[in-house]
Each structure stands twice: as structure tokens, then as C-alpha cells.
Amino acid sequence: MSDKLRLGVNIDHVATLRNARGGAHPDPVAGAWAAIQSGADGITAHLREDRRHMRDDDMVRLQTLCESEDIPLNMEMAATSEMLKIALDLKPKAVCIVPERREERTTEGGLDVVGQHNSVAPIVRELTENGSRVSLFIEAQRTQIDAAKSCGAAVVELHTGAYAHAHEDDNIELAAEILKTLQDGATYAHSLGLEVHLGHGLTFDNVSDIAAIPEAVELNIGHFIIGEAVFMGLEPAILEMRRIMDAARV
Ligand SMILES: CC(=O)[C@@H](O)[C@H](O)COP(=O)(O)O
Ligand SMILES: NCC(=O)COP(=O)(O)O
């Protein structure tokens, strides 16, 4: 089991709150700073094509902050030429390529690397040559994991959304079934030399079994932490997530 399981805090939804009024508060970069002071091992931010939350100038300020704090910025982006140019200019430590549909409320599934291999592989190559560590956000399926490897990605982030939904619906049997798929996917990806991350929909209640996956190196968690921060504060929310993750690894 890898020693320390990294927590990447996704600060997208600080920007959602800011954009609700069209002003500058709360500033997602200030949120990232607070998350870093609270022990976040990395900051994740999704620059969506529709800029519903994070905006271009946020990403520039975020990269400056992360560089000054020596904390990796993990930029999530769709596999488009627009986002590729932004990421090449920004030079974040990490980039995670995710699927995106304008009409979706949130990320609904993993990137179809098998079907989009010819468009994804050149983007992976350019970003890697530019110095970013590239991750592909995929379902825990061997075909997608193989395709990610063949694209030259260093990391796969396994989509935990279906697991989270099953948990939310108290469908314990289905949650256990999906967890097994995630566990098997993590083991397979690791056997191919891929670094294994997991994320989407993780909460205090459902994170333990994901954190206990031995090959997991990083969890990216955002919406729940920011939501909890409304009630208990950002630092306590991050510290509690950290505590649960660490307790699952003993
Ligand atoms: C890729 C992923 O699972 C999350 O980063 C998610 O995309 C956060 O952004 P949204 O909440 O806008 O989907
Ligand atoms: N890639 C997952 C992520 O960054 C955060 O997802 P969520 O916790 O906001 O669902």
C-alpha cells in the first residue's frame, strides 16, 4: 500500500458561489490558499468550456499561488484545442483530461479514451512534453485503462461517481459491486505502471473503502468538502476528510 494517500481539493464550487452574485467573493484562489494551509496535498480545478465556475484568470492566479506554495495544481480540462492552448501556456504541474458536455450538471462518466484515442493521444503527448503530468479521467474498465496506457498517460483517475450514487441510494449491493470494479481497475492500472487516482462524488460517508484501495495514490474531492465547509468551515472539513482517509489506510 502506498505510504501517504494524497488529497487533492477541488475548489470549483467556491467559484460557483462567487459567480452566483457576479462579484469577486468568495475568491476560489483564496479558497485554494485556505485548503493548502489546511493540509491539501494538491489543488484541482476544472476550467470548463462554459466557464460556469472556474474562469481563465482564476487559473492564472491559481497557478501562481500553487507555484509559490510548492503545491501541485491539477487542471481538469476537456480534450479540445482551446483547453490545450490554455494548459500549454499555464504549465500546471498536472492536467487531467475529462469528458465534458455543456448540458451536463456535473461530470457524468469517464472519458472514452478507446473511442477518442486519435484525438487524445496527441494532447497527452504535447502536455507531457510541456512538463505537465497527464491523467485521464476514466471508468475502471480494462479497455479504457489499456487505452490510457497506450496514449502515454502517466496517471488514470478512476471515476467514482456511480459508486457514490449507489451509496447515496443506499444500494449497498450495487455499491459493493462497483467498489470491486474500482479495486480491480486500480490493481490492473498499477500493474501497467500507471499511477492511480480516484474521484467524483466522494464524501465522509463513502470515502473509506476508496481510500483503502492499496494502489490509490490520490483522491480528488471537491463538491462535498466545499458543501461541508458551509457548515463546519473549510479547515475542519479538510481535516475530517484527511482523518477518515488516513484511518482507512492502517
Ligand atoms: C471531473 C470531476 O469529476 C470533477 O472535477 C467535476 O468535473 C467537478 O466539476 P463539476 O462539478 O463542474 O462537474
Ligand atoms: N476529479 C474529481 C474532482 O476533482 C472532484 O469531484 P467532486 O468531489 O467535486 O465530485
ipTM higher than threshold 0.90: yes
pTM of the predicted protein model: 0.97
Using the mean position of ligand 2's atoms as its centre, give its distance from the Cα of residue 70 in Å. 22
Cell numbers at 56, concatenated: 481563465
In a domain, 57, yes or no: yes
Element (H, E) at 104: none
In a domain, 125, yes or no: yes
In a domain, 1, yes or no: no
Mutation choice for ligand 2 from 7, 12, 137, CB with most ligand atoms inside 8 A: 12
pLDDT at residue 225, rounded to an integer: 98
The stretch 131-150 carries a mean pLDDT of: 98
Domain extent for 193: 6-248
Residue 70, exposed/middle/buried by CB under 10 A (0-12, 13-18, 19+)?
Answer: exposed
CA angle 179, 181, 185 (to 5 degrees): 115
> Which CATH number does the domain housing residue 146 bear?
3.20.20.70
Q: Is the dihedral of CA 87, 92, 93, 95 positive or negative?
A: negative
In a domain, 176, yes or no: yes
Element (H, E) at 91: none
In a domain, 208, yes or no: yes
The stretch 166-192 carries a mean pLDDT of: 98
Residue 201 CB–ligand 2 contact under 6 Å:
yes
The number of distinct structural domains making up the chain is 1
Q: Locate the ligand 2 atom nearest the alpha carbon of residue 223 and give its number.
A: 9
pLDDT at residue 49, rounded to an integer: 97
Confidence class for position 3, pLDDT limits 50, 70, 90: low
In a domain, 17, yes or no: yes
Residue 10 CB–ligand 2 contact under 6 Å:
yes
CA angle 27, 67, 197 (to 5 degrees): 85
Q: Is the dihedral of CA 28, 31, 33, 39 positive or negative?
A: negative
Residue type, 155: V
In a domain, 59, yes or no: yes
pLDDT at residue 1, rounded to an integer: 52
Confidence class for position 104, pLDDT limits 50, 70, 90: confident
In a domain, 161, yes or no: yes
pLDDT at residue 4, rounded to an integer: 87
